[in-house]
Structure 1
Amino acid sequence: MFQRLSNYADSILSALPANRLLAIDTFRGLTITAMILVNNPGSWGAIYAPLKHADWHGWTATDLIFPFFVFIVGVSILLSVGAQQARGVDKAAIVRHGAKRMLKLILLGWFLALFYYNFRDPSFNWLTDRLLEMRIPGVLQRLGVVYFATLLIVLYCPRRHYPGWAIGLCLLYSLLLLWVPYSDAEGVRYQGELVPGNNLAAWLDTLVFGAKHLYTDSQPFASDPEGLLSTLPAISSCLTGVIAAQYLHSKATLNQKILVLAGSGLILIVLAELLSNILPINKPLWTPSYVLLSTGFALVILAICLWLIDRHNYRRWTAPFVVFGANAIAFFMFAGVMARLFGLVPLGDRSVQSLLYGDLLQPLLGSYNGSLAYALLFLAMSYLVMHWMYKKGWFWKV
């Protein structure tokens, strides 16, 4: 059995290009795997604490997943731009391709937002209940906008200015969040509020999109964790990936890279905790302290991957994550569609999800273990599909 698994892992890894940095592929795969795991429990009422988002201020391991993906997007941008320019592709062509990619990501996000039908409610009207109340922001929408904004910075700004952009965007966001006044519908004036439903980011999203098109219908303003204003520090998160990729492709030795990445990450984590006394660590607001924290952990985990994979040649464990990471957007879309189908398509008076969890896993394993087991089964099913695509050489690039 062990030999079969080893041969299987070797067959995946041997197909990778010789110059491929396996640590980055592994980090990407780990991130998208974690994202799908936490997004698909058997029951939202039975989730272990580390697999849930923090209610507001503070953080859990789950709160680090999305910024990790944004960080990896930054790494990919630098590698992609470098490869295209080496082939003689001009900046205008790269921008056009980037704009198309941004649009595709936004449209895919809207597709997932609209991929819903309540079969159990005869009065449900998809046009009025879904399309006309569609959530406009979202995960893929944010990725698209952040990707394109970061691409423009990488193309048109000197590399030595990237840290300045990352710091400047966070500083600008902080000043706006804390100092710009705003008012509710009753004319009540606010400034510097950082509570759910009452902050400048929520006010702006409600003004631009309208309350019914946002994630949370809170008061006095609806809000969205992927809203407009908090996109500014998210671009900073992406730029940290660009900066990390620059260093990874420097002439520093492997040991130097591991030490610098790990050391820098630990310093950023400490700075995040210190800054949280002024601006709390908060994912929905994507505060600068959250940027520092998530970037710090991303650097530490990337350093660990380098230490395991490149320093000590422990490679076989990475094979499943290479498969998942190679088709990260396809994996995200597949999981989103299947999760909805499992929850929506009726089997009698139940759904596939309620039958698997409620009738099988929960009675056998208990509520929390059963809910986690459902998420793991969902991952296993997804892996079969992603592995099939990988073996066929089908890589979905938006």
Structure 2
Amino acid sequence: MDAYRGFVMTLMAAELLSFHRLHEAFPDSSFWAFLAHHQDHVPWAGCSLHDLIQPSFSFLVGVALPYSVASQTAHGQPATAQFWRALRRSLILIVLGIFLRSTHAEQTYFTFEDTLTQIGLGYPFLFLLGKTRPQTTWIAFGLILVAYWLAFVLYPVPVTFDYSQVGVPANWPEQYSGLMAHFNKNSNLAWAFDRWFLNLFPRETPFLFNGGGYATLSFIPTLGTMLLGLQAGRWLRSDLTHSALIKRLLIAGAIGLAGGMLLQVAGICPIVKRIWTPAWVLFSGGWCFWLLTFFYSVIDVSGHRKWAFPLVVVGMNSIAIYCLVHLIDRFIIASLYTHLGHGPFLIFGPAYEQLLIGAVTLVIFYAILRWMYRRKLFIRI
């Protein structure tokens, strides 16, 4: 679990490598085109490796919950105290998410679509459902997906609408018609909610739309992703044999992938991360099950642990690396240029400058996390 978490946090930090710069410099290279594609989010529907970072992090929050609850119970904490702790964690995640998004703003930037705030908004409900029977959790999961889909479908599609006013280019190929039109960018239920909700907070200018189409209401289906992780965590803590557990995780992943693709192909619901559609919950959840299976099989079952040690170092301090990347990446890069100049990073030519300075910055981040690991300094919320 720590290695899987470290893997996704490393993917997040690896944005510093700026593969898109190399793709721009070498447009005919399929190698750089492939890496650039998987280091960025898809424009709307579909999925890249980078798109799996947030669902994986959310999924792993669910996986960890049964272990956390069992530990607290073993230490004699009553259920009420555990729930208040969950509420506190929720509040800290929300506040931290807003703080990190506001670091380069003129005033507090109230936004609730980033990873930390989305998890924070859903975490108390995850905790409560974690106290129920698995059957109840599955029922809740199904109700969340159906209710979220139905709410979008019942929100009317605008008949006449100037999409250029909400950041959508004319003749954008990602626009849908028919039933799927209810999930179009910045003309859907979640966008309408944010037009009301986000303007309740003080802002430099009124909120009109999110450039990426991300939305606050995504925390509801994100809870569905966390519930999938919760079920996986329960299976991991059960008395299932290794082979039976791997089989169950693989089947769950296959069902999720097939279900998500079927919903899109049938024209019922597109696979869109930015508004966390039900099809995305199933599709990304399927990948999360399979990624967990890979790390479990290789590390826990086969015993191949040494290769994953750097990932464990990162994964055991996931909040730390999340904050480091958001707070001091620019400071480190500026300091490297101040003290070393551009020369060392131009050794392979200007096209590779961002790749090299990004790699050095990642090494510095890892050195900080390795120092914390050695001294058993782990940031927990």
TM range (shorter): 0.7 to 0.9
2:193 maps to what in 1? 204
2:133 maps to what in 1? 158
Letter in 1 for 2:289: L
Q: Which sections of structure 1, spanning at least 5 residues, go unmatched?
A: 1-23, 117-128
| Post-superposition CA distance 1:179-221 (Å, at most 9, x none) | 1238799999x9953222211111111110039989x9997x4
**1:146 alignment partner, one of 122, 143, 146:** 122
After the TM superposition, which residues 351-366 of structure 1 pair with which residues of structure 2 at under 5 Å, given as runs? 361=345, 364=348
1:174 maps to what in 2? 149
In the alignment, does 2:302 pair up with 1:326? no
State the alpha-carbon separation in 2 of the partners of residues 171 and 46 from structure 1: 42
Q: Decide which moves more: 319-328 or 40-49.
A: 40-49
**1:253 alignment partner, one of 237, 241, 252:** 241
Q: What's the CA shift for 1:267?
A: 2.7
Q: What's the CA shift for 1:264?
A: 2.2
State the alpha-carbon separation in 2 of the partners of residues 176 and 354 from structure 1: 53
Aligned partners of 2:249 and 2:289 also within 8 Å: yes
In the alignment, does 2:368 pair up with 1:381? no
Letter in 2 for 1:381: I
Paired-residue identity, %: 26
State the alpha-carbon separation in 2 of the partners of residues 45 and 362 from structure 1: 14
Aligned length: 351
State the alpha-carbon separation in 2 of the partners of residues 371 and 97 from structure 1: 42
Secondary structure in 2 matching 1:193: helix
After the TM superposition, which residues 217-296 of structure 1 pair with which residues of structure 2 at under 5 Å, given as runs? 221-222=209-210, 227-277=215-265, 278-296=268-286
In the alignment, does 2:24 pair up with 1:30? no
Letter in 2 for 1:393: K
| Post-superposition CA distance 1:81-125 (Å, at most 9, x none) | 122123221111011111111111122112212222xxxxxxxxx
State the alpha-carbon separation in 1 of the partners of residues 157 and 340 from structure 2: 48
| Post-superposition CA distance 1:217-267 (Å, at most 9, x none) | 997x44666532211110000000000011112221111111221232123
In the alignment, does 2:183 pair up with 1:194? yes
1:19 maps to what in 2? none
Letter in 2 for 1:197: N
In the alignment, does 2:45 pair up with 1:57? yes
Q: Which sections of structure 2, spanning at least 5 residues, go unmatched?
A: 24-35, 164-176
State the alpha-carbon separation in 2 of the partners of residues 355 and 142 from structure 1: 39
Question: What TM-score does the superposition give when structure 2 sets the normalisation length?
Answer: 0.82
Q: Decide which moves more: 333-342 or 59-68.
A: 333-342
State the alpha-carbon separation in 2 of the partners of residues 292 and 362 from structure 1: 44
After superposition, the Cα gap between the structure-2 partners of 1:240 and 1:110, relative to the gap in structure 1 and judged at 3 Å, is same
Letter in 2 for 1:27: Y
After superposition, the Cα gap between the structure-2 partners of 1:353 and 1:103, relative to the gap in structure 1 and judged at 3 Å, is farther
Aligned partners of 2:332 and 2:361 also within 8 Å: no
State the alpha-carbon separation in 2 of the partners of residues 356 and 301 from structure 1: 40
2:378 maps to what in 1? 395
* RMSD of aligned Cα (Å): 3.3
After superposition, the Cα gap between the structure-2 partners of 1:132 and 1:314, relative to the gap in structure 1 and judged at 3 Å, is closer
Aligned partners of 1:136 and 1:213 also within 8 Å: no
Q: Decide which moves more: 316-325 or 26-35.
A: 26-35
Aligned partners of 2:253 and 2:287 also within 8 Å: yes
Letter in 2 for 1:194: F
State the alpha-carbon separation in 2 of the partners of residues 133 and 374 from structure 1: 29
Q: What's the CA shift for 1:362?
A: 5.9
Letter in 2 for 1:395: F
Secondary structure in 1 matching 2:183: coil
Letter in 1 for 2:6: G
After the TM superposition, which residues 37-76 of structure 1 pair with which residues of structure 2 at under 5 Å, given as runs? 37-38=14-15, 40-42=16-18, 46=22, 48-76=36-64
State the alpha-carbon separation in 2 of the partners of residues 173 and 185 from structure 1: 25
After superposition, the Cα gap between the structure-2 partners of 1:283 and 1:355, relative to the gap in structure 1 and judged at 3 Å, is farther
After superposition, the Cα gap between the structure-2 partners of 1:365 and 1:181, relative to the gap in structure 1 and judged at 3 Å, is same
Q: What's the CA shift for 1:310?
A: 2.7
